[in-house]
Chain A
Amino acid sequence: MTAQEILADIHALEEELLELERKYGLRSEIFYAAYTNGEEPENENWVLDFSEWASVYRTWLARQAEYRNEVQRMQGGSPSLKGLIRAVA
């Protein structure tokens, strides 16, 4: 995937993460750390959301890493924006 394609995935995933963060009043990274540590949801009704949240967050982490790798590859060692920006009107 190109950097732009990965970024499109990241934005789509962030929309889902934001929705859950608003619903539960908690940043995803805080949630995920507790979740992967085995913390059980206090409320039975949260179980499905938590499972979904963790899954979306994992995919988001993967795409973030892919994006960084792709950008570094394109930059070829220099912190330039050349070739990275694709302005959309």
Chain B
Amino acid sequence: MTDPFRTPEDYEIFLYTLRERYSSVRHSTLSFIRRGHSLARVTGEIHFDHDIRLVILERLVFDRLPLRIDGYGYGKVAARQAVWDTERLKLAEPHLLKRLRRQDLPLQPFQLLVGGDVLHRAPDFHGKASKAHRHLSEKYIPASL
């Protein structure tokens, strides 16, 4: 496929065809919402096997192409009907960078952050999340988990 970040239309198509592209994606509620002339938000959830859900919020800017993700957060992850508090992040923000450093988490431009309990209560979670992350990342999101 062409670079999904080439134009807003490409990214929109990419988001709305995740299920067709990646077998690990069971369901997606992602919505691409245009704001103003060259702004958009992406909100919603991607559901994977084993009740793993990735909650997504992105702010997109496309006054110049390719479009860029200006801000993002990846939130609550649920596994097996239990929901644990998770963290969202926005890199390059001083408060969050400080927190990441305190938690000794790797600094990557795109990450899934989960609460500490998740890994202990759902031992296989890390593997599932890594797989999902790899599927979603392909060439433009560095693998980090």
CB contacts under 8 Å to B, within A15-54, are 38, 40-41, 47-48, 50-52, 54
Kindly state the separation between the CA atoms of A33 and B143 in the bound complex, as whole angstroms: 35
Asked whether A6 lies within 8 Å of B90 as measured between CB atoms, the reply is: no
Interface segment, one of B22-30, B91-99, B101-109, B128-136: B91-99
The verdict on A74 contacting chain B, using a C-beta distance below 8 Å, is: no
- Given A41-B95, A47-B96, A51-B95, the answer on whether A9 and B71 have CB atoms closer than 8 Å is no
Asked whether A6 lies within 8 Å of B39 as measured between CB atoms, the reply is: no
The verdict on A84 contacting chain B, using a C-beta distance below 8 Å, is: no
Residues 55-76 of A, flagged 1 when their CB comes within 8 A of B and 0 if not, give 1100100000010000000000
Asked whether B36 lies within 8 Å of A55 as measured between CB atoms, the reply is: no
Query: Could you tell me how many residues of chain A have their Cβ less than 8 Å away from some Cβ of chain B?
Result: 22
Query: Could you tell me how many residues of chain B have their Cβ less than 8 Å away from some Cβ of chain A?
Result: 18
* B37 CB to nearest chain A CB (Å): 4
The verdict on B17 contacting chain A, using a C-beta distance below 8 Å, is: no
Kindly state the separation between the CA atoms of A53 and B70 in the bound complex, as whole angstroms: 12
* A40 CB to nearest chain B CB (Å): 6
Kindly state the separation between the CA atoms of A86 and B95 in the bound complex, as whole angstroms: 43
Asked whether A51 lies within 8 Å of B90 as measured between CB atoms, the reply is: yes
Asked whether A55 lies within 8 Å of B90 as measured between CB atoms, the reply is: yes
Asked whether A55 lies within 8 Å of B73 as measured between CB atoms, the reply is: no
Kindly state the separation between the CA atoms of A59 and B68 in the bound complex, as whole angstroms: 12
Asked whether B70 lies within 8 Å of A6 as measured between CB atoms, the reply is: no
Q: Which residues of A contact B96 (CB under 8 A)?
A: 47, 51
Q: Which residue of A lies closest to B63 (CB)?
A: A1
- Mind listing 15 A-B residue pairs with CB under 8 Å? A1-B38, A8-B36, A9-B35, A9-B38, A12-B35, A12-B36, A13-B36, A38-B94, A41-B95, A47-B95, A48-B90, A50-B95, A51-B96, A55-B59, A59-B70
Q: Which 5 A-B pairs have the closest CB atoms?
A: A12-B36, A9-B36, A5-B37, A12-B35, A55-B71
Interface set of A (CB-CB < 8 Å, partner B): 1, 5-6, 8-13, 38, 40-41, 47-48, 50-52, 54-56, 59, 66
